[in-house]
Structure 1
Amino acid sequence: MRKYLYLLVLAFSLIGGSLVIQTNWHKPVATIKSASEYLQVSANFCVTGMQGNSLVIEVTKGQLQAGSVGRLWQASTNLDQGDCLSGVLQLSPAQPFERFAFLARLKQVTGPIRQSENLEFVSAVRKFAGSMRGEASNLVAGLAIGIDSGLSEQFRNNMKATGLTHLTAVSGANCAIVLGLVWLTLRMFRLGRGVRTIITLVSLAGYVFLVGWQPSVLRSAFMMSTVYLSLELGRRVWLPAALAFGSSILLVADPWMAIEFGFWLSVLATFGLVMLAPRLVEKFEQNMPKWLAVGLAATISAQIWCLPILIYLQGGFTTHSVLANLLVEPMVPMITVLGLLGFLAGPIFPWLGEVLVGVATLPAGWIVSVANSLANSPIGLLPIGSDALGLSLSATFVISVSIAIVKRKFGYTALSLAILCIWLGSLGNSAVRQVEFANGNWQVLACDVGQGDALVIRSNNAYALVDVGKDPELIDSCLDEIHVETIDLLVLTHFDHDHVGGLSGALLGRRVSRALISPFPDERPVASEITEQIGSTGAEVTSVAKGVTGSLGEFTWEIISSLGIAGSSANEASLGMKFESKDLIIYTLADLNEVAQDIMQSEIFDSSKPTVVKVSHHGSADQSAELYRRIGADVALISVGKKNSYGHPTSRALKILGDAKTQVFRTDLSGSIAMGVSNGVIEVKSAGAR
């Protein structure tokens, strides 16, 4: 026991030391200061990796200190891993505990883009994979080498709703398939064990280099290498120890992985497979074919150990995930092997690459059909509380059921059932149908931007953004998650910091078509600075009065409150709006006070359509009870920061909404909240509190 304690202390010491060293090198104080001032700088930099929809860049020289690491919005240019260039960067600040010193958008390329000769073939492979057309072909690219940029937003949402997003996140399964493919091929030749081992590991390293340096890929490759070496060299290995060793080494190399959900989901899924799958296979194959027993056991094992984090992130458990994974997992090895061979052959023999990828699209088409069919089925998400009680019960259930499976003792099985009953009994009943966050049906989404406002309205892939919160990183992250690249209508209701401070994050890598601002004569410097910042993007900026109308997809919108110079304050003169489609009405009340709300009552008309209201001023006490009664909304959205110092939302605001029989959803409790209408019912999806 003491030996393991020493190893744990050593691991933490190494990780902590690495964090200090890398922070000083990659996040210098001068660079962080430049980002906090939103400067434009000239710099030479190289693309060193990928993170989601962004590129990771490292500065080599220029107006930023060499070694500084930042995140570059990928849509701003067609760069790839290994590219080096000089350019002008528009900086914005990163979160304090992020791995990045800055966030950036490439304003101008000022020199040639240089690609390392060693990376030419890798770039050609990725370019060939990126040229795929159709959902099934792009899914092959995602499964084989992690390039999923060609997948439509609708299909991404369907995969998320059915628990299949992990398929396009290259991880342990892909690394195991590659190792197995190379190992079986080499077994056909009379090669020594040493030569075979070196070629196999070099092939795996090449695969990792091809798909990009992402946390789950690195962790999986390192663990698979450890396991492979142990087995190939004839030594037995305890797989949890291999996982712990591999994860520790990776955290030393990149300490910021420790705060990434993807890393822990990958680790926990692998741990579940290692600990539970063998026992479950042994039990299941007594009553079903072995291939089915293996697939079912693997899916259940991974789902069990990922359960607490998934509940925290999704606000519940995707009821279709086990069935969906069971239906598609048998297709994954075939697609991965054929797709990888096709993409490797494509740059040299395009016809061969297209044939191999074409064959792979047949099983990939099955996955597309499964995801689309199950995503449109009812009851996609079982809502489960992501508060301390819910997470504690879920973690206790996972540990108890794992012991019951491994030890095969009735006492632990009974304990698991008892915990499950208590857990489910604590959920209560929900009057609103809740499904997976940000699935394809949402029409209005309240971004969790802390104590601030940021509301997204969507119709036919056109987006309106009403205010941007105060934190550039939070609004950028929210818009990234829902894949917003063009803001068709940007509304800044007034110039308070908690409504406009995050503008640089909203603009990062995105185009704005039209912007609306309040005509109130705001003399604060921020008003002119923000107006100038929007204008510099080329957007049409309009100061709008009451009665101005327009359209957004199937929505029509109207300014129903804009007091302008008649307003006594920026809040009172902020822009109130109404969005209306054939099946939904949305009222956005900015920071309107009770006086402005009373004046606005004449603009409210009775309607039988489902109605959503964005509550004014984060739920302050300065509200008009009569206005909310006249609106008669089914659902109220309150955008508010957790444990804020203002006491928002106030008891008076909540009582007004309760008296109006309006159900309240708050970002401080639920995180980002998406809503849409299905068969006349408002569906609510929450991302889970941060």
Structure 2
Amino acid sequence: MQRPDLRLPVIGAAAWAGGLLAPLATHDPWAGAGCATAAAAVLAVLVVRLRRGRRLTVVAAAVVLATVALLGLLRQHQVSDGPLAALAGRRAAVEAAGTVASDPQIVPGRFGVTVMVRLDVRSVDVGGTVVSLRAPVLVLGGQEWRRLPLGASVRVAGRLGPADDPGESAVMTPRGPVHVERRPSIWWRGAAAVRASIRHAVAGRPLEQRSLVPALVDGDDAEVPDALAQEFRTTGLTHLLAVSGTNLTLVVGFLLVLARWCGVRGRWLYAAGAFGIVGFVLLARTEPSVVRAAAMGTIGLVAMGSNGRQRALRGLGAAVLGLMLLDPALATSTGFALSVLATAGILLLGPPWRDALARWLPRRLAEAFAVPMAAQLACTPLVAAISGQVSLAAVGANVLAEPAVGPATVLGLAGGLLGLVWDPLGRGAGLMASWCVAWIVLVAHRGAALPVAGIAWGTGALALLALTVGTIVVALLGPRLVRHRWLALGSALVLVVVVTVRLPSPGWPPPGWVLVVCDVGQGDALAVRAGPGSAIVVDAGPDPEASRRCLDGLGIRSVPLLVLTHYHADHVDGIAGVIAGRRIGAIETTRLADPPFGVREVTEAAAGAGVTVSRAAYGSTRRLGDVTVQVLWPLPDSPVKGPGDGSTANEASVVLLVETHGLRLLLTGDVEPEGQVVLARQLRGLHVDVLKIPHHGSRYQDEGWLVSLEAAVAIASVGADNDYGHPSRRTLDPLAKAGVDLYRTDQDGSVAVVARGGEPQVVTH
């Protein structure tokens, strides 16, 4: 095998280092100066010790590093210290004129939704003085900003404020309506029409399919259910939900094949490819992530030609260099890093793995395994740093999903284009695209349901260093291992066993457990065991990954009932982690549909799981497996619409009395003292064995009622170092004085209650 030419990749790496040096020097000048000095010393040593032929590369790398760092500092100065940033520091009222540069992003809030739009401002009017400039501004607008098309020229009055993102000069809060001065150009309107046509072509399909087709074609993932996105993260398929080089390679590759069929040859074929790249960028939006994806995808097209590996490596170095010179801020972008690492992994690690596997496998099959393996290995340390998880199912999931990705992408694009000509043709192509996507969804469902699809990994420096070293060892020694058939098959069998058979954690879950209060941070997520592999889940916590990890650790594969006590984020945001990979029987929640963003999140997640959300009926009693559940609150005449304040939503929490294995458990959600007083009056003489302390142990409680329950065990589900002062000593002390054993998840971790002879015992994890 020809040795790779790494001169341009080395120069590209130097450009990347320069891009990283600029923000470091801005944030901490001393650290930046130290890194620059160290880099200069290393480069000087290399110039002295290397042969003359390689010195030129080192000198070029040094020049590039310094140039990109300087450009980054200048760009940062222009954005953060320019005239618009100065106006933002004074919180000036201005009238700004600019171009809509991003699709609207909807951000739910307690008092409604905020629409975030990026605006490229070209001039501002301050007290009659017009200042011409060019600066990015984040607009926090109302509902009317949802309807503004990308590329429209607008004028709006508002007040500026300092920006948190170093890539933005200011944040603007509009004061009054936004005026559209000029419609987008025909190119932007055409791209918008194709995007809308793609969505229309699959409009009649199930939610998961109709949301995934646009995501594959142009990165439009606005409707992808959270539960499906969580399953894609678990199985290493997240790259399919974002604009990546793969999208461009497939779309433009298909266009080139069509051009060849039509007789296009020579330079006109290059023109067709260039047209396809520009069209793809317009279709997927000209944001930095899309430009980066276009560059990586172009490298993928280059790699398909003769001497593809060498040309693609040189192209990778040139692409990184060009992107850094164009926008040094990309150096700190996670998407950029993942794209470059994955591309480099495929080009550098892929061929040795492919050739080793090809000694006993057909070459195409060897390549199908080698490509995702190489990309995954190259990205593993960074993915672990971002997610705190290492996916074990990623390679297998990508191998299984890959055959459907190309047809789904091409058919989805065809559906959008044909739909502009004749709607039935577009819908036909969209239907076939959705069939392909159904297979990808099935792979994600089954992969996420594996007992050990991923393992948690620390994000500290030592943990990531150990993972990086281990990844390098596997990358270098792996080909020597897999070239031998039986060693490779044996290693694969070990991996399959690890993924499909959950190794028991010593002492967890404890035998005979009936209730586990999961450690999910500042929120609630509880599991009541209903039978082998089955549990009633009460609340989903604030983090899908934490909820998924807890339920997976308990071996829960079936949830006959998911009760969401109310719609606050710390009780519903983790619903994707509860649903992912599990059978959901029913979802019930409170009568009060507030706050709206929580209601919407639950409704969309339930639709993705094929379950209808219903209200927990006051006074209802039912038996599910080993558990009897009774709904004690809210009352049947409680409101169904709220004023939007947090206390009203808390007060509407579903309160459950659970009986199982001789124990009585009171699960209280965040019910407020006023509701506790009513419960005390209606349920005189109620005694329980285990109490889930209301509202994370907040100081606002009816302490007399809590003590009167005579619980043997009380548990506060609470996050470490939270800003609310939960749990309060004012709540815990009376319970402790009454002889109640107190547990809190911020100190004890997950808390399991075990039934022993009709008495509760506690095991923590």
With the length of structure 1 as denominator, give the TM-score of the two structures: 0.65
Contact 1:276 1:405 (C-alpha < 8 Å) held by counterparts: no
Contact 1:379 1:435 (C-alpha < 8 Å) held by counterparts: no
The partner residue of 2:421 within 335, 344, 348 is: 348
Q: Is 1:81–2:194 an aligned residue pair?
A: no
Q: Is 1:129–2:198 an aligned residue pair?
A: yes
The partner residue of 1:120 within 153, 168, 189 is: 189
Name the CA distance, whole Å, in 2 between partners of 1:195 and 1:465.
54
Aligned partner of 1:643 in structure 2 is: none
Could you list the runs of 5+ residues in structure 1 that have no partner in the other structure?
418-423, 449-457, 468-474, 476-485, 492-537, 563-581, 638-656, 665-680, 685-690
Task: Give CA-to-partner distance per residue, 1:217-260, whole Å, 9 cap, x none.
Answer: 32342244457569769897353332122112112212221112
Name the CA distance, whole Å, in 2 between partners of 1:163 and 1:409.
22
Could you list the runs of 5+ residues in structure 2 that have no partner in the other structure?
1-53, 107-115, 492-497, 499-503, 510-517, 526-536, 546-561, 574-592, 599-640, 657-667, 676-689, 752-761
Aligned partner of 1:488 in structure 2 is: 595
Name the CA distance, whole Å, in 1 between partners of 2:260 and 2:507.
60
Q: Is 1:20–2:57 an aligned residue pair?
A: no
Counterparts in 2 of 1:295-444, with a 5 A limit? 295-405=368-478, 443-444=540-541
Contact 2:98 2:155 (C-alpha < 8 Å) held by counterparts: yes
Name the CA distance, whole Å, in 2 between partners of 1:217 and 1:543.
39
Contact 2:93 2:158 (C-alpha < 8 Å) held by counterparts: yes
178-187 or 549-558: bigger deviation: 549-558
Aligned partner of 2:542 in structure 1 is: 445
The amino acid of 2:471's aligned partner reads V
In structure 2, the CA distance between the partners of 1:127 and 1:92, relative to structure 1 (3 Å rule), is farther
Aligned partner of 2:269 in structure 1 is: 196
Contact 1:635 1:662 (C-alpha < 8 Å) held by counterparts: yes
Structure 1 position 288, deviation (Å):
4.1
Aligned partner of 2:11 in structure 1 is: none
Aligned partner of 1:244 in structure 2 is: 317
330-339 or 176-185: bigger deviation: 176-185
Q: Secondary structure at the match of 1:317?
A: strand
Name the CA distance, whole Å, in 2 between partners of 1:209 and 1:169.
15
In structure 2, the CA distance between the partners of 1:344 and 1:431, relative to structure 1 (3 Å rule), is farther
Structure 1 position 78, deviation (Å):
2.7
Q: Is 1:69–2:171 an aligned residue pair?
A: no
Tell me how many residue pairs correspond in the alignment: 539
Structure 1 position 158, deviation (Å):
2.2
The amino acid of 1:112's aligned partner reads V
The partner residue of 1:148 within 221, 225, 228 is: 221
Aligned partner of 1:4 in structure 2 is: 57
Q: Is 1:100–2:168 an aligned residue pair?
A: yes
Structure 1 position 488, deviation (Å):
0.9
Aligned partner of 1:110 in structure 2 is: 178
Aligned partner of 1:455 in structure 2 is: none
Name the CA distance, whole Å, in 2 between partners of 1:270 and 1:345.
32
Counterparts in 2 of 1:585-664, with a 5 A limit? 587-589=695-697, 602=707, 606=711, 612-614=717-719, 626=733, 636-637=745-746, 657=747, 661-662=748-749
Aligned partner of 1:551 in structure 2 is: 653
Q: Secondary structure at the match of 1:12?
A: helix
Aligned partner of 2:39 in structure 1 is: none
Structure 1 position 662, deviation (Å):
4.9
Contact 1:383 1:435 (C-alpha < 8 Å) held by counterparts: no
In structure 2, the CA distance between the partners of 1:383 and 1:231, relative to structure 1 (3 Å rule), is closer
Contact 1:137 1:358 (C-alpha < 8 Å) held by counterparts: no
Structure 1 position 19, deviation (Å):
2.0
Q: Secondary structure at the match of 2:672?
A: strand
In structure 2, the CA distance between the partners of 1:460 and 1:10, relative to structure 1 (3 Å rule), is farther
The amino acid of 2:458's aligned partner reads G
Q: Is 1:210–2:319 an aligned residue pair?
A: no
Contact 2:198 2:430 (C-alpha < 8 Å) held by counterparts: no
Structure 1 position 303, deviation (Å):
0.9
Identity over aligned pairs, percent: 20
Task: Give CA-to-partner distance per residue, 1:276-309, whole Å, 9 cap, x none.
Answer: 2222222334444544432221221111111111
Structure 1 position 27, deviation (Å):
3.8
With the length of structure 2 as denominator, give the TM-score of the two structures: 0.59
Name the CA distance, whole Å, in 2 between partners of 1:367 and 1:218.
26
In structure 2, the CA distance between the partners of 1:275 and 1:186, relative to structure 1 (3 Å rule), is same
Q: Secondary structure at the match of 2:101?
A: strand
The amino acid of 2:179's aligned partner reads G
In structure 2, the CA distance between the partners of 1:196 and 1:626, relative to structure 1 (3 Å rule), is same
Aligned partner of 2:346 in structure 1 is: 273
Q: Secondary structure at the match of 1:87?
A: strand
Q: Secondary structure at the match of 2:349?
A: helix
Name the CA distance, whole Å, in 2 between partners of 1:621 and 1:135.
40
Structure 1 position 444, deviation (Å):
2.1
Structure 1 position 55, deviation (Å):
4.0
In structure 2, the CA distance between the partners of 1:4 and 1:623, relative to structure 1 (3 Å rule), is farther
Structure 1 position 164, deviation (Å):
1.4
In structure 2, the CA distance between the partners of 1:380 and 1:682, relative to structure 1 (3 Å rule), is farther
